[in-house]
Structure 1
Amino acid sequence: MTSSTNNDNNADNNTKKGATENFSAPENVLVELRQKIDQVDGEILQLISNRAKLAQEVAIFKKEHADEVDTNPIFYRPEREAQVLKNIMKRNQASDSPISDEKMARLFREIMSVCLDLEAPQKIAFLGPVGTFTHAAALKHFGKASTTVPLTTITDVFREVEAGSAMYGVVPVENSSEGVVNHTLDGFLTSSLKIIGEVELPIHHNFLVAEHTKIDSLSRIYSHQQSLAQCRHWLDVNYPNVERVQVSSNGEAARRLKNEWHSAAIAGDVAVAEYDLHKLHENIEDNPGNTTRFLIIGHEDIAPSGQDKTSILVSAHNKAGALIEILKPLSKHGVSMTSIETRPERPNKWSYVFFIDMEGHIEDENVRAAIEEIRPLVRDVRILGSYPQAVI
């Protein structure tokens, strides 16, 4: 009986031992994986630190050589950043990374933003207030290490950059659903600033409420007029009897919820974080492909990046067939036009100017040849800028 009891005890002990081993094995795997992550994190940290030190060396070099020629050094190079991001996306495609190309590029965008801030802090003016899609575009293009300054109007953004109070400006120029932003085009009629870059931002609207909002008692929905238009069908279906109130921006719409318990707002993700709001509904836009294009404005000419756009402002003669004459050289030299807009040429009555976007850089032989062929056909041609096409 004693032998039988001992055997039973041994069997129980073996069963418990086996169970313990089976339970601890997954834990051991997790510990090993976490150790590997810690090791990789250390390597990443060292590499980022090395990159930051190289950025500092670049800044020192630029400052030293700028002193020699008595000019201000340029630290932000759009064409260089575009090339780096495109290269990162290309290399990511060739790897077995589970991270998408765009998300990987966004990670590097933030690293580059921090490194650029070490070289020279960047002050960026944008059409405010905080929480607008223009704010989101500024952060997407320059990264979160940049200093962003909200301004009331597009004219103010132009003025701030012209005066040197901000290094660059971000302004909206067209929306895929609502069309061109005339105030931005008009800004170039009287400004000497140039286009140095572009941002394309998918526009996703959220239905936002505050923590104190009484959802069952909503009486107002605030948003910019374009956002209300872009969500019209969704609002008709879900909130047909709630008043829609137009305000100056989506950021202003979000700000108003702070002191109102019976209101909601339509705005983007940046407004959620900036004003501590909650998404009651996401992506309520009627057109899922809704996108807004923004321009980066500054003073300098930009070197070719390999995938560029050129924008020109053409003042045509007031005669029949003027536009056809302008377009023929583009076709002749194989230049692809991506956009054309017409604006009144103030203060001349019944005179118009054309804003034309085309693929290629002004240093490309076919682009330059086409523009030179246009010059004698019109009263004036002004090159607004050659700049990298939007990468992410």
Structure 2
Amino acid sequence: MSESNQTPSKADETELLQLRQEIDQLDQEILNLISRRAQCALRVAEVKMKADPGQAVFYRPEREAQVLSRVMERNPGPLGNEDMARLFREIMSACLALERPLEVAYLGPEGTFTQQAAKKHFGQWVKTKPMPAIDEVFREVDAGAVQYGVVPIENSTEGVVNHTLDTFITSNIKIVGEVELRIHHHLMAGPNTNRDKITRVYSHQQSLAQCRKWLDAHMPQAERIAVNSNAEAARRVQGEWNSAAIAGEMASELYDLEIIETKIEDSPDNSTRFLIIGAQEVDTSGADKTSLVVSMRNEPGALYHLLKPFNDFGVDMTRLESRPSPSGNWTYVFFIDFVGHTRDANVQEALSAIRKTAVEVKVLGSYPKGVL
């Protein structure tokens, strides 16, 4: 008889009973501690409202980043650091909802990866509001209709999202955080769809590009139709018998579709970075990034003069993108990400040097590096 079919001995049964009793006791302790934390969050809200009823800020990106980083540093195991941090993220999300529920705009419709990124960053207790376009997300935040917004900025396979970059040029909204999402694309269809009869595949243009090799190999005969979002693709195939959609798991659940092939993206490391945007500036967290846009004169050595201060003052630049200037005349603006906060001394020196040769320097925000 195999070991798995053996009946537990009396000693084993006694040990299991003791372990279950210990788990029950630990569960009660965890429940009590979470309740105490929630009560503390309510008192924090009372103190903030008493001090400044009209301008009280309940969500502090730098504070949350510090807490999650500390959880990962002090985690004794056996749960992994990210798993433990995600548990704490949800506890913090629930407690924050007691203080004041956050409403966050995102590039919709429901079921997009941008909504998934919003949930990952703010937790499941956040209220998400879909918007039809990236500039609408900016306007919603600027108008004060929501506290924050989430917009895509770059994909590891397809590069930057130019619409987001261009919107920053004319907007006064600040970057207050970032979140990276591992992107898994799934092929899905309605329950009555026969895979052999699929003649068209809907998805966002970038998703179709990210799954090009798989589609070439497995569905070369199917027409590829680009739509505004993966969620829109999932919605379309609900009532069609000869079509499929490429989208994420959230879309399949939302639109009641069957996933017929999982993880069909060509790159195993496919991920997208999203920015959290808001109206306020963010204090230092100890592990920060800064984004800015710089307009340079169209003259020899302009790029050299832009990059030299980063080297001179020891500022680690992590991204450089150029876009045509809205003013035209064959001039360009540069989008730059670097490590550090505008309150750091070396960053201030570098920015001061850049301003001496630049037409304009606009700081888009200093914010905590993505923890999860």
TM-score by length of 2: 0.95
Tell me: CA distance 1:25–1:257, structure 2 relative to 1, closer, same or farther (3 Å): farther
Residue 209 of structure 1 deviates from its aligned partner by 2.2
Q: 2:62 aligns with which of 79, 92, 95?
A: 79
Tell me: CA distance 1:28–1:277, structure 2 relative to 1, closer, same or farther (3 Å): farther
Is residue 131–residue 137 contact of structure 2 (8 Å, CA) maintained in 1?
yes
Q: Which residue of 2 aligns with 1:45?
A: 31
Tell me: CA distance 1:74–1:22, structure 2 relative to 1, closer, same or farther (3 Å): closer
Distance in 2 separating the partners of 1:24 and 1:257: 57
Q: Which residue of 1 aligns with 2:255?
A: 275
Q: Which residue of 1 aligns with 2:213?
A: 233
- Does residue 149 (structure 1) correspond to residue 135 (structure 2)? The answer is no
Three-state SS of the structure 1 residue aligned to 2:327 is coil
Structure 2 stretches lacking a partner, 5+ long: 1-5
Three-state SS of the structure 1 residue aligned to 2:52 is helix
- Structure 2 residue identity aligned to 1:305: S
- Structure 2 residue identity aligned to 1:91: R
Q: Which residue of 1 aligns with 2:51?
A: 65
Three-state SS of the structure 1 residue aligned to 2:356 is helix
- Does residue 300 (structure 1) correspond to residue 280 (structure 2)? The answer is yes
Distance in 2 separating the partners of 1:39 and 1:243: 58
Distance in 2 separating the partners of 1:73 and 1:333: 37
- Does residue 212 (structure 1) correspond to residue 198 (structure 2)? The answer is no
Q: 1:387 aligns with which of 355, 367, 371?
A: 367
Distance in 2 separating the partners of 1:142 and 1:386: 18
Q: Which residue of 2 aligns with 1:35?
A: 21
Distance in 2 separating the partners of 1:305 and 1:371: 20
Distance in 2 separating the partners of 1:243 and 1:40: 56
Is residue 190–residue 257 contact of structure 2 (8 Å, CA) maintained in 1?
yes
Distance in 2 separating the partners of 1:174 and 1:186: 13
Query: How is 1:122-201 mapped onto 2 (pairs within 5 angstroms)?
Result: 122-201=102-181
Say which is worse superposed, 35-44 or 297-306, in terms of deviation: 35-44
Q: Which residue of 2 aligns with 1:258?
A: 238
Is residue 148–residue 276 contact of structure 2 (8 Å, CA) maintained in 1?
yes
- Does residue 222 (structure 1) correspond to residue 222 (structure 2)? The answer is no
Say which is worse superposed, 272-281 or 178-187, in terms of deviation: 272-281
- Structure 1 residue identity aligned to 2:169: L
Three-state SS of the structure 2 residue aligned to 1:137 is helix
Q: What is the alpha-carbon root mean square deviation over aligned residues?
A: 1.6
Q: Which residue of 1 aligns with 2:41?
A: 55
Q: Which residue of 1 aligns with 2:3?
A: none
Residue 267 of structure 1 deviates from its aligned partner by 0.9
Distance in 2 separating the partners of 1:27 and 1:267: 47
Distance in 2 separating the partners of 1:154 and 1:387: 20
Residue 179 of structure 1 deviates from its aligned partner by 0.7
Q: Which residue of 1 aligns with 2:338?
A: 358
Q: How many matched pairs?
A: 367
Three-state SS of the structure 1 residue aligned to 2:115 is helix
Tell me: CA distance 1:46–1:187, structure 2 relative to 1, closer, same or farther (3 Å): same
Is residue 189–residue 238 contact of structure 2 (8 Å, CA) maintained in 1?
no
Is residue 319–residue 337 contact of structure 2 (8 Å, CA) maintained in 1?
yes
Distance in 2 separating the partners of 1:39 and 1:388: 37
- Structure 2 residue identity aligned to 1:49: S
Distance in 1 separating the partners of 2:192 and 2:42: 47
Tell me: CA distance 1:330–1:109, structure 2 relative to 1, closer, same or farther (3 Å): same
Residue 29 of structure 1 deviates from its aligned partner by 4.1
Distance in 1 separating the partners of 2:56 and 2:225: 47
Structure 1 stretches lacking a partner, 5+ long: 1-19
Q: Percent identity?
A: 55
- Structure 1 residue identity aligned to 2:60: R
- Structure 2 residue identity aligned to 1:66: D
- Structure 2 residue identity aligned to 1:209: A
Q: Which residue of 1 aligns with 2:328?
A: 348
Three-state SS of the structure 2 residue aligned to 1:141 is helix
Distance in 1 separating the partners of 2:206 and 2:220: 18
Distance in 1 separating the partners of 2:27 and 2:247: 36
Residue 24 of structure 1 deviates from its aligned partner by 5.7
The structure with the largest helix share of the pair is 1
Say which is worse superposed, 191-200 or 236-245, in terms of deviation: 236-245
TM-score by length of 1: 0.90
After superposition, what is the alpha-carbon deviation per residue over 1:142-182, rounded to whole angstroms, capped at 9, x for unaligned? Answer: 11100000100001001100000111000001111101101
Tell me: CA distance 1:22–1:131, structure 2 relative to 1, closer, same or farther (3 Å): closer
